[in-house]
Amino acid sequence: MITTKVDTFSVRLVYTVFTLIWVLLVVLNGFATNFLAIVLLIPIFLFMIGFINADFFNDNLETDVFNITFINAGLLLSLPLLKVINDKNNHHNKKLTHAIFLSMICVLLSYYHIWIKEENRFICRTIQSCLETFAITLYIYTLVVFFNNS
């Protein structure tokens, strides 16, 4: 378990910062334009749960979550296919393309390894989880928009 208040505060700070980044990302890119944008609330709810449960994190839980990154490979393979299919069907949607690229950027950013002391490594794992949450949510949003326009 996280043993100090500083560790709990650090995790809560990461979730708060990434919630703000997510809101800015959605607002500045104009994704919240119709009812389909309800999908974009997923990271906020997940970050709220992480914020509330910050006292109960332990390194084993974060290691388990950290190791399940095979979804990133699937995202990196399927997102360009969505772009190609979108362009091929002459339904070019700038927001869809933008969401695809942002999702790919989030996946790629989650692969950066930050080398810090072992006792602070949970912060890097939390940041990676946040970036993966961004990517997966953008992917879900992309699929919803794509199949709604098809």
pLDDT tens per residue, range 15-71: 999 999 999 999 998 888 888 788 899 999 888 988 887 776 665 555 555 555 666
3 state SS of 64: helix
Give every CB contact of residue 51 below 8 A, 6+ residues apart in sequence: 11, 12, 15, 16
What pLDDT score was predicted for residue 129? Answer: 85
- Find where tokens 């990434």 sit: 18
Question: Between residues 61 and 78, which one has the greater pLDDT?
Answer: 78
Contact 67, 129 (CB under 8 A): no
- Listed by start position, the domains of the chain span 5-149
- Residue 79's pLDDT is what? 72
Average pLDDT over residues 76-84: 73
Greatest Cα pair distance in the chain: 55
83-114 tens-digit pLDDT = 777 676 666 677 777 888 888 888 878 776 66
For residue range 10-31, what is the model confidence (pLDDT) as tens digits?
Answer: 889 999 999 999 999 999 988 8
The 3-state secondary structure of 85-137 reads: HHHHCCCCCHHHHHHHHHHHHHHHHCCCCCCCCHHHHHHHHHHHHHHHHHHHH
pLDDT tens digit sequence for 128-144: 889 988 988 988 888 88
Contact between 113 and 128 under an 8 Å Cβ cutoff? The reply is: no
Q: How far apart are the first and last CA of the chain?
A: 48
Angle, helix 42-52 to helix 5-28, in steps of 10 degrees: 170
Q: How far apart are CA 68 and CA 13, in angstroms?
A: 23
For residues 63 and 58, give the distance between their C-alpha atoms in angstroms, rounded to a whole number.
9
